[in-house]
Structure 1
C-alpha cells in the first residue's frame, strides 16, 4: 500500500519582534548622543540716541579701536589712554586685557564699551578682540572662571583713513 504524503502548507511568518526591540532602543540612544550644531551668538549694541536725547557730560565713554596696526584705548572725553602696536604680527590682547582690568577696577559699575573697527580687520581678530573686551580668565576657589569686564559691546566703523595714534610716552594719562 502506498501512502500519500501530504505536504503541509503553512505560511511562514516573519518574527521581527527582536528587530523592533532593537530599533526602539537604538533610535533614542542615537538621538541623545547626536551633537547638534552649536551656534554662539554675540549680542551687539549699535550706538545711537533717541531724538532730542543729550549725552551725560560726566559719563565715562570707553572706546577701543581695533586696527590692523594695533589697538587703542581711549576715553571719548579725555582722549587716548594707551596704544598697543602689533608686535610680531599679532595683536597684544594680554596688554589690552590688563589695562581693561585696571579700568574696571576704577569704574566697576561700567559695563559698556564702544569697539571701533578699522578697515581690513579680519573676522577672527574682531571676535578675539570682542572676547577680550567682554571677559578675562580669573581664578576663583581654585577654578578658572570668566570674570566680567565690559559685556555690552557697541560696534562702530573706524573709518577708511584711521591710523594708530602714537602711544603717550611718560605723558599725562588722564583716562586711566
Structure 2
C-alpha cells in the first residue's frame, strides 16, 4: 500500500513593507501639494456721503488696480483717488505706500482691500504690491517695526483692455 503524503500548504506571509514605504512618502507629498486658498470679492457699489466726512470702515471699499501702465487707487464712493504711472519701467510702490498710510490714518479700522490684477503681470510685481498693501516700516520706540495697513487682501481679475486713468497730482485724502 502506498502512502499518500499530504503536501504541507503554507500561507505565505503578507509582505507590506513596500506598500508602507509608499504610504510614508505619499501622504506628506499629498498634504504638501494641497492648495489652501481663499478667494473673496467685494462689490464696489456704495451710496455717496458729504465731502470731508470720513467713511465708516464697513462702507469704505478700497480698491487697487495693478496693470502694465501703473497703479490706480480708488474707492467705491469717490472713484479714483490717485493714479501712479510706471516711471522708467518701475512701479511707484513708495508713492502707493505713502497714499495708503494717509488713507489708513483717515480710516484706521479698515483692514481689507481689493487688488485687481491685469493678465500678464509678473508674479514678483504682484507679491511686492501685496506686501506694500499689507504693511509698512515705521519707527516705534527707537526700533523699526512693520505697521499694519490693509492685511486682508482680496484678489480680483482686471479687464485685459484696462488703461491707467488720468494721472492726478493731489489725489490723496
Specify if TM > 0.5.
Answer: yes
Superposition misfits of 4+ residues, deviation over 4 angstroms:
42-45, 55-58
Cα distance in structure 2, aligned partners of 1:168 and 1:94: 16
Number of the residue aligned with 1:30: none
- Scaled by the length of structure 2, the TM-score of the pair is 0.67
Tell me the SS of whatever aligns to 2:113: strand
Preserved CA contact (<8 Å) 1:133 1:151: yes
Cα distance in structure 2, aligned partners of 1:120 and 1:76: 25
Cα distance in structure 2, aligned partners of 1:94 and 1:162: 23
Number of the residue aligned with 1:154: 154
Number of the residue aligned with 2:64: 64
- Scaled by the length of structure 1, the TM-score of the pair is 0.66
Number of the residue aligned with 2:136: 136
Cα distance in structure 2, aligned partners of 1:87 and 1:48: 30
Tell me the SS of whatever aligns to 1:81: strand
Cα distance in structure 1, aligned partners of 2:121 and 2:85: 14
Tell me the SS of whatever aligns to 1:109: coil
How far does the alpha carbon of each residue in 1:4-52 deviate from its partner, in whole angstroms, 9 at most, with x for none? xxxxxxxxxxxxxxxxxxxxxxxxxxxxxxxxxxxxxx97541158xxx
Question: Would you say how many aligned residue pairs link Structure 1 and Structure 2?
Answer: 128
Residue segments in structure 1 that go unaligned for 5+ positions in a row: 1-41, 50-54
Preserved CA contact (<8 Å) 1:118 1:159: yes
Q: 1:1-176 residue pairs with structure 2 within 5 A?
A: 45-47=39-41, 57=47, 59-169=59-169, 173=171, 176=173
Preserved CA contact (<8 Å) 2:135 2:148: yes
Q: Give the 3 Å change call, closer, same or farther, for CA 155–169 of structure 1 in structure 2.
A: same
Deviation at 1:160, TM superposition (A): 1.0
RMSD after superposition: 2.3
How far does the alpha carbon of each residue in 1:77-120 deviate from its partner, in whole angstroms, 9 at most, with x for none? 21100000011111000000000000000000000000000121
